[in-house]
Chain A
Amino acid sequence: MTTWLPAFQIIFLSLFLQGIPFLLIGSFLGAAISVFVPIRSLASRLPKSKIGGILIGTFAGLLIPSCECIGVPLVRRLIRNGLPPATAIAYLLASPVLNPVCLASTWIAFQYDNPLMAVLTRAGGAAFLAVSVALIFSRLPVGNIFRSGIVANDEPAGEAGLWENPPAAWLANKTPRLAAAISTGFSDFFGIAVYYLLGCLIAAVVQTALPPYAIPNTSPALLIPGFMGLSVITSLCSSADAFVAKSFAGYPLAALFAFMWLGAVLDLKLIFIYQSVFKRRTVLLLALLLAALVFALSLLAAYLPLERLFYGTTISG
């Protein structure tokens, strides 16, 4: 108990402090956009084809930088204001990696290896995941994917979260737009922060309960799930995980990229905050889908092998 409690507190607080500023920024950014930007008219100008909208969502993170903690509240609000769900899902899954901050941190972490190849590999994998999942989800009925009140024209948001104030109601009441934005940001922040707190709590408990990790350097087929599991448990921010991945010297690059590809879109805290947007069954489906796709992609990278693209040899750096 004497070592368990401080370790739990340190991990919980560090995870909490790592994400909460960005959750706040995402909530208020989403609220400001929903109040000041005509999302519906912008959405109507998106390409009519499904794949066109998904590709725009995938690469929008390069223009609207956001990590996963900003992305969830932002997307939640944008879907509610009329952004097509497939475009929103693609943005949600791609933006944690396809943003300038994450790509720069990946470049710095791999600066002594092959930074350009590292950035391209990471970004390519993230884009593949986002497009694949968005395409699969676009075939499902919207009502089965999202929580009630999340999609535009759905039933009122009162049941979706603890404190929901749809801006449309505010604007109908002729409330000043700034006040509407603050209030909406507030309610969005609370709608997600509760899940985030619970996610950090669970992640900290699991990290504290597990013994110090030791993954034996075996075959890629075993290493890749090991590193995928590690990324889910550690719940690191996508802008910092490249540094941690790079510190695992001697392991195949495919395992390190599995760690980065999956960790950016799926971890213990994200499983909780996704529940503020998706139905519980959808979160489970999303988790299984992402895990299967990352495993397949990483196996492919292992048998290329990725080392040959990075160093021109098969020896891991």
Chain B
Amino acid sequence: MNLSRINSRFFSRASLLFPALLLGLWGCVIFRLKTSGLLAELQSPTYHPFSIGTAAACLVLALCYPLVSDIKRQSGRSRWPRLILAILLLASPVIIFATLPQDSPTTGFLARRYSSTSSNMNIYQLLGIDQKDLLQDLQFRKQHAANGQSLELDMLELNFIANNSGLRKLYDQTPVNLSGQWLADANGNTQSFRLVQMIMFCCAADAKVLGVRVDGQPPGGQNGAWIDVFAVLRFNSSGTPYLILQQSKPQDDAPPPDLPLPQR
């Protein structure tokens, strides 16, 4: 038996299978990201059709590739490096997918992205939110709320209030209700935690994280889980908002959000 001949055939056949396998694997990974809801945490929904289209194209191309391919024989000189590279590339989607955390995929990412030097006020311009309308809406809601009534806010509104001295005075000591992902205090303080929400324009690589410190017992359950917080809104002397916790509730039946950008 001529082993070198078998070896040569093996490599040439393996190289024929490789592109189809790699494409097929990535196609499956992208579909799985979509069905598990993780895609919403990686990419703005505007781009989901592109990703799904790519996944479908990957699978179709993987299936039809053997029908149209005419792969040249690879030179023997660099066979082993190519084989190692091929194995690494084939393993990458499998490893990435197998190690994706199931419950709180963005916790580590959120914690790292929480602080940056970029301004939060430009978000309104970039999202096309009319700041005059938002100001009037927040003033109207506060003035027409019953005494002691908990007002529902989102993280963008809270950030807007914190950057407007008039709204800060109006909303100081107001009971509010916010939802977001909770993160344990970075310094290990067990009497406070952070409530955060990610806002992305294109994908998670360009995401900003808005958040607020909550003084009170951290909720039970997984760090990074979505919760509803009922609290009293306060501001410190520099205008930074913080919440004094009254109650927190896990969003048991809440799937990962459809939109990383709060729906308005």
16 A-B pairs with CB atoms under 8 Å apart are A2-B108, A3-B107, A3-B108, A7-B112, A9-B105, A15-B203, A18-B202, A24-B57, A162-B74, A163-B71, A165-B70, A212-B113, A212-B115, A235-B205, A239-B202, A244-B118
B192 interface residue, CB < 8 Å from A?
A: no
Residues of B within 8 A of A21 (CB): 50-51, 53-54
When C-beta atoms are compared, the residue in chain B nearest to A169 turns out to be B70
When C-beta atoms are compared, the residue in chain A nearest to B111 turns out to be A3
Cβ of A14 to closest chain B Cβ, rounded Å: 4
B64 interface residue, CB < 8 Å from A?
A: yes
Residues of A within 8 A of B107 (CB): 3, 6
Alpha-carbon distance between A250 and B100 when the two chains are bound, in angstroms: 37
B35 interface residue, CB < 8 Å from A?
A: no
Q: Which of A7, A111, A241 contacts B108 (CB 8 A)?
A: A7
Do A111 and B125 have beta carbons less than 8 Å apart?
A: yes
Alpha-carbon distance between A152 and B111 when the two chains are bound, in angstroms: 50
- Which residues of B65-95 have CB atoms within 8 Å of chain A's CB atoms? 65, 68-72, 74-75, 82, 85, 89, 92
A36 interface residue, CB < 8 Å from B?
A: no
Q: Which of A11, A24, A108, A244 contacts B204 (CB 8 A)?
A: A11
Q: Using CB atoms and an 8 Å cutoff, list the residues of chain A in contact with chain B.
A: 2-7, 9-15, 17-18, 20-22, 24, 108-109, 111-112, 158-159, 162-165, 170, 179, 182-183, 186, 190, 194, 197, 201, 207-208, 212-215, 234-237, 239-241, 243-244, 246-250
B10 interface residue, CB < 8 Å from A?
A: no
Alpha-carbon distance between A194 and B22 when the two chains are bound, in angstroms: 10
Cβ of B16 to closest chain A Cβ, rounded Å: 9
Main DSSP-derived SS at the A contact region: helix
Cβ of B90 to closest chain A Cβ, rounded Å: 11
Do A17 and B203 have beta carbons less than 8 Å apart?
A: yes
Cβ of B89 to closest chain A Cβ, rounded Å: 6
Most buried by A among B100, B105, B112: B112
**Contacts beyond the supplied A13-B96, A18-B202, A235-B205: 4 A-B pairs with Cβ under 8 Å:** A3-B108, A5-B108, A6-B106, A212-B116
When C-beta atoms are compared, the residue in chain B nearest to A164 turns out to be B72
Given contact pairs A158-B72, A249-B119, A186 touches B19 in the complex (Cβ within 8 A) = yes
Q: Using CB atoms and an 8 Å cutoff, list the residues of chain B in contact with chain A.
A: 15, 19, 22, 26, 30, 33, 39, 41-43, 47, 50-51, 53-54, 57-58, 61, 64-65, 68-72, 74-75, 82, 85, 89, 92, 96, 99-101, 104-109, 111-119, 121-123, 125-126, 128, 201-206, 208
Do B75 and A158 have beta carbons less than 8 Å apart?
A: yes
Q: Give the tally of cross-chain contacts (CB within 8 A).
A: 161
Q: Which of A3, A182, A249 contacts B121 (CB 8 A)?
A: A249
Do A236 and B50 have beta carbons less than 8 Å apart?
A: no
Do B65 and A186 have beta carbons less than 8 Å apart?
A: yes
Residues of A within 8 A of B119 (CB): 247-250
Given contact pairs A11-B109, A212-B113, A248-B117, A17 touches B92 in the complex (Cβ within 8 A) = no
Residues of B within 8 A of A246 (CB): 122, 125-126
Do B118 and A248 have beta carbons less than 8 Å apart?
A: yes
Do A208 and B112 have beta carbons less than 8 Å apart?
A: yes
Given contact pairs A12-B96, A186-B65, A6 touches B109 in the complex (Cβ within 8 A) = yes
Cβ of B245 to closest chain A Cβ, rounded Å: 24
Alpha-carbon distance between A315 and B214 when the two chains are bound, in angstroms: 36
Residues of B within 8 A of A212 (CB): 112-116
Do A9 and B96 have beta carbons less than 8 Å apart?
A: yes
Q: Which of A2, A3, A190, A243 contacts B201 (CB 8 A)?
A: A243
When C-beta atoms are compared, the residue in chain B nearest to A203 turns out to be B205
Do B206 and A234 have beta carbons less than 8 Å apart?
A: yes
